[in-house]
Structure 1
């Protein structure tokens, strides 16, 4: 029998709704050069590398009567042309137009009757560039058996590896009777199957009760004309998304670290803190009483008692309070560093250079796992998730085309209007900010506040007068 979905994976599916689809995405920008990288080459590349991630050719098959959790089965109608798609911007397409398109695509849920992923090649960008949008469901990239497809598409050299002929043929899909028989057999031979099924049923009932309670809260709020709590960072979400991005230079964070100590991660989170502060001050809402923002930051750890991920080490949530009420950028940095010092003192922290040295483009997998980790902690009452992943500091290529930019696009959790992903790659630090379209109409202001917050930190370095390197997002046009 094919592999059965675990209870925690089923909980991911149960937690999905039209306003909170549970898929991660990555946007990569390429300079094709003389490689001839186009849609046909992309289809060849995906067809070649998909054998490294066989689950990308499988779909979920539910068991009749819910006698057991669904199983992964080969999709007998697998069509790579359905999953690898082509789009274009009116030339010359701007970054704003690209991410407006990305926002529309990531807002759409994936079809559960097919393998849970899509890849889009977006042509027409200014300068002859191309963009690759990879989109995969969280149950597909589980952090144990499957890495993100984007991790295996990229090479460390511009010399394309020769494609090989994949002779994959789907196994016959089990019939409804076969699925029931498999569930009974698993229940007899593996008692954990019964436990997982019961746990999944209880979790489904719990989530249904939470959904009803949430709808009753909406009705009560409307009747009393009350605004939802944490209306700046949370509230009831729409089905649309805004995606804004920022590119900065890694050398600036290294300068901050050399001057003030701590780590590059501390400097990045201090920059996020300063950006949030500047964004909140720019709103009409007062910051009175807002001293910090409770934030979950997934971290990689050494722990033999925890299940290893496909990255070689477990990933755990770490809760920090980003001090947005603090006016001094240096004090903000030291407060963030102090909170992470406890994690470093345990000896379980994994060095950034170890993560950056993992084969392939591991950040895309880390972001996918980090989103799952954050979702598992949503009942702990945090307001924001920030996932910062160090990537390789040398160029990567897809079929000979050089990747010049990469932006993580995180899903939003229920009641969370913002999520931030950060990836460092080839000397740059890339921010991807996902925002609810209705609740955060000024998302571009938050993006513009990132380089301003970095400037604040750089200005504290003695004798430095240069502006920060890199580019900030330009203002987006309306929908």
Structure 2
């Protein structure tokens, strides 16, 4: 599917716009640390420019039909300036990772300008240990976590010697932006098409009544499960308080082999182990804040991709959300993993994901005002305590202009009344955690990171492995 000028946002993408508030920014990103001296800003700009034609959406901005006659549309930005989106800065001496985290936190504390394409990429020099960093920030409406990995790789090479790419599509000329009247007409036309779309679905149902009834039954059962989940709100915790616009960021380095050892020895999946580690870390953190954990089970919002294999690499979000368990009441780490594993198996066998996807399908038929309200219901922060997202990354080294990527720390987002988000990504044998916290609430976010390390160590030792060494950066190890 081409990323074309004039594409309308999907219902899910539009819901991410509807969720954004002054203190709740709906962008995601990463902090990427590279070995070697930084490239020059001009060379890096040319590198991005030479591959920008592979992701046309990065030159698109939002156009909003008047009177909310339809969902927003992606259109070419006639004033697109690559230098605005690709920025250059430097850390002061000594260039520590603490300073890098503070810079990344400040960048992620600021909303993206909706009048421009919804992304930024910062080239950061001056990092200690002969290293440099990239800080990325992209609105969730532009790209979701799973397809985002595909899009980010356009700037990577698989070999240390970079391939010389022609500047295809340069010079670039923007297509004319639709006039407000044309945007309104398109929106009205879309609304008028809805009865015919429904009729087409009815024709399909008449042609294949058996399979259609099965799908309808499954979707209705799923919607019922989603509704039942909505009647059981997440417990109140010190994490679920009003938040401000400012952020803290922490990094936790791990080895993927430790998670696989636990999985292979004690059962479950790597994602089950991740949730168990997060639950163990939260148990320690909550108890340090005087919270009794007996009988307490937190709920994690776990994004699940429903993108089909033949849709891999396409733009637009194809994700639904499920509520994963975080049994902080379980003291024994092996028993905690068992509870998580069984609960996740039950969720996967349930119709919750199907129901959530069906609700998204219903939202696609709704005018924007109704869509905004429906998205708030589905994404209600009353239903979960924090976001936990785990994205599998490439298990081979990646390079930018001959410099090897050392660490990739993902950065999630904080919805309203959510002061902590845990993002995890595997890369080249590593398992890096990016912890995003509200600046005023998570003043001890580093302590939570240490609690995660201890929770993983308990599981590894229970699986018969050696206690994980605290993996440090190449600069620290030197």
How does the TM-score come out when normalised to structure 1?
Answer: 0.77
When the two chains are superposed, the root-mean-square deviation of aligned CA atoms in Å is 3.3
1:158 to 151, 157, 160: 160
Q: Does 1:274 align with 2:275?
A: no
| Residue in structure 2 matched with residue 75 of structure 1 by the alignment | 77
Q: Is the 8 A contact 2:19 2:376 kept in 1?
A: no
Q: Residue 314 of structure 2: SS of its match in structure 1? A: coil
Q: Is the 8 A contact 1:241 1:435 kept in 2?
A: yes
Residue ranges of structure 2 left out of the alignment (5+ in a row): 199-234, 354-374, 474-478
Q: Is the 8 A contact 1:256 1:457 kept in 2?
A: yes
Kindly state the Cα deviation for residue 42 of structure 1 after the two structures are TM-superposed. 1.8
CA deviation string 1:332-370 (max 9, x = no partner)? 111111122335668999xxxxxxxxxxxxxxxxxxxxx
Kindly state the Cα deviation for residue 145 of structure 1 after the two structures are TM-superposed. 9.2
| Residues 103 and 455 of structure 1: CA distance in aligned 2, closer, same or farther (over 3 Å) | same
Kindly state the Cα deviation for residue 256 of structure 1 after the two structures are TM-superposed. 1.8
| Residue in structure 1 matched with residue 207 of structure 2 by the alignment | none
Kindly state the Cα deviation for residue 112 of structure 1 after the two structures are TM-superposed. 0.8
Q: Is the 8 A contact 1:298 1:374 kept in 2?
A: no
2:447 to 445, 455, 461: 445
CA deviation string 1:169-202 (max 9, x = no partner)? 11122233333444455555666899xxxxxxxx
| Residue in structure 1 matched with residue 304 of structure 2 by the alignment | 299
1:13 to 17, 31, 37: 17
Measure, in 2, the Cα distance between the counterparts of 1:443 and 1:311. Answer: 33
Map of 1:312-331 to 2, 5 A cutoff? 315-331=319-335
Q: Does 1:286 align with 2:294?
A: no
Kindly state the Cα deviation for residue 15 of structure 1 after the two structures are TM-superposed. 1.7
CA deviation string 1:402-431 (max 9, x = no partner)? 100001111101111111100011111100
Measure, in 2, the Cα distance between the counterparts of 1:312 and 1:57. Answer: 15
Map of 1:386-465 to 2, 5 A cutoff? 386-462=388-464, 464-465=465-466
Q: Is the 8 A contact 1:249 1:469 kept in 2?
A: no
Residue ranges of structure 1 left out of the alignment (5+ in a row): 195-228, 350-372, 473-479
How does the TM-score come out when normalised to structure 2?
Answer: 0.77
Measure, in 2, the Cα distance between the counterparts of 1:324 and 1:401. Answer: 41
Q: Does 1:234 align with 2:235?
A: no
Kindly state the Cα deviation for residue 159 of structure 1 after the two structures are TM-superposed. 2.1
| Residues 269 and 64 of structure 1: CA distance in aligned 2, closer, same or farther (over 3 Å) | closer
Q: Does 1:41 align with 2:47?
A: no
Q: Is the 8 A contact 2:389 2:423 kept in 1?
A: yes
Q: Is the 8 A contact 1:27 1:132 kept in 2?
A: yes
| Residues 49 and 178 of structure 1: CA distance in aligned 2, closer, same or farther (over 3 Å) | same
State the aligned residue count: 411
1:251 to 249, 252, 257: 257
| Residue in structure 2 matched with residue 210 of structure 1 by the alignment | none
Q: Residue 470 of structure 1: SS of its match in structure 2? A: coil
| Residues 186 and 466 of structure 1: CA distance in aligned 2, closer, same or farther (over 3 Å) | closer
CA deviation string 1:174-233 (max 9, x = no partner)? 233333444455555666899xxxxxxxxxxxxxxxxxxxxxxxxxxxxxxxxxx82411
Measure, in 2, the Cα distance between the counterparts of 1:465 and 1:148. Answer: 35
Q: Does 1:28 align with 2:32?
A: yes
| Residues 446 and 374 of structure 1: CA distance in aligned 2, closer, same or farther (over 3 Å) | farther
Q: Residue 431 of structure 1: SS of its match in structure 2? A: strand
Kindly state the Cα deviation for residue 249 of structure 1 after the two structures are TM-superposed. 1.1
| Residues 231 and 263 of structure 1: CA distance in aligned 2, closer, same or farther (over 3 Å) | closer
Q: Residue 126 of structure 2: SS of its match in structure 1? A: strand
Kindly state the Cα deviation for residue 398 of structure 1 after the two structures are TM-superposed. 1.4
Measure, in 1, the Cα distance between the counterparts of 2:321 and 2:153. Answer: 22
Q: Residue 328 of structure 2: SS of its match in structure 1? A: coil
Kindly state the Cα deviation for residue 77 of structure 1 after the two structures are TM-superposed. 0.6
